[in-house]
Amino acid sequence: MGESIRREDALVLAHYYVPDAVQAAADFVGDSFALARKAKESDKPVIVFCGVSFMGESAKILCPEKKVVLPVEDAHCAMADMAADADILRLKERIPDLAVVTYVNSSARLKALSDVIVTSSNAVKVVSRMPQKNIYFIPDKNLGAYVASQLPEKTFYLGWGCCPIHNATTLEEVRRAKEAHPGALFLAHPECPAAVCREAAYIGSTAGIIAFAEQSRARSFLVGTEAGTLYELRRRCPGKEFFVTRESFVCADMKKITPAALEAVFAGGGTEVSVPEEIAQKARIALERMLELGA
């Protein structure tokens, strides 16, 4: 057990994918970009991050002076290490004018090897503002392919990683769901395969999906992202209907962050995040560049 934390000293951040009750208890709920910015702007000495480990690392890198605590130590993102240092170094040697663009769903180690970090909310904007023509996008091949489709003036080299949950979404699954919910607009996250995204009325980050549904005149939506997003969609869009393409569209690691785990943090539970300074210094440059270019 660590030291207890006074609730008034902490900013509790929660990602849209954690359980509904944890979202309800948080001070701020958002996607990766909004949460990173909120952590950076906070004047609270403690950040309690209800998300997977790379999110806590990002907050600590951006806010080295703050105490960052994860309620659950073994809640990880499967994609976070799906890139190899050797591949990055090999491409840098072979291709001039190469920018290593790394999705925020990545380890601190990968961030430290990057020129800039992006989220699904700001990837197109950030990459469009990069001076380099050649882009090595890691680790998510699906998000990378989507960004490449939006920026044909640049040359993309894609990593091999993916989110196993989003990548498991199939065209057949989406079409069956559309048959089950006729008239529902399909909204897809760009971590889904390209064939799935082509079926969508809208492609965007979790925050983008929520904003689109909120502003749309449609009354029924089929959502191609983690089921935890339905909590905020239903809260923000009363009177509208929301369905996921499959019941198993769930990140098991995000669901480990229970209300009991969050409550235990204030009694000294949870895991304090630390990042080696030599890694943090390099990763901080790439994260700060994201906040600058993605604004």
Higher pLDDT, residue 112 or 1: 112
Q: Taking 80 as the threshold, does the pLDDT of residue 294 lie above it?
A: no
Average pLDDT (265-287) is 96
Q: Taking 70 as the threshold, does the pLDDT of residue 295 lie above it?
A: no
Q: Are 185 and 220 in contact (CB under 8 A)?
A: yes
Q: Which domains does the chain have, with CATH numbers?
A: 7-77+255-275 (3.40.50.10800), 79-163+282-293 (3.40.50.10800), 165-251 (3.40.50.10800)
* Residues in Cβ contact with 267 at an 8 Å cutoff, skipping those fewer than 6 apart: 1, 4
Q: Taking 70 as the threshold, does the pLDDT of residue 1 lie above it?
A: no
First-last CA distance in the chain: 39
- Average per-residue pLDDT in the chain? 95
At 96, is the pLDDT very low, low, confident or very high (cuts 50, 70, 90)?
Answer: confident
pLDDT of residue 217: 96
Q: What is the DSSP string of 211-267?
A: HHHHH-S-SEEEEES-TTHHHHHHHHSTT-EEEES-TT---HHHHT--HHHHHHHTT
Average pLDDT (217-238) is 97
Taking the C-alpha atoms of residue 9 and residue 266, their distance in angstroms, rounded to an integer, is 10
Q: Taking 80 as the threshold, does the pLDDT of residue 131 lie above it?
A: yes
pLDDT, tens digit (0-9, with 9 covering 90-100), for 104-128 = 999 999 999 999 999 999 999 999 9
Taking the C-alpha atoms of residue 51 and residue 72, their distance in angstroms, rounded to an integer, is 9
pLDDT of residue 75: 96
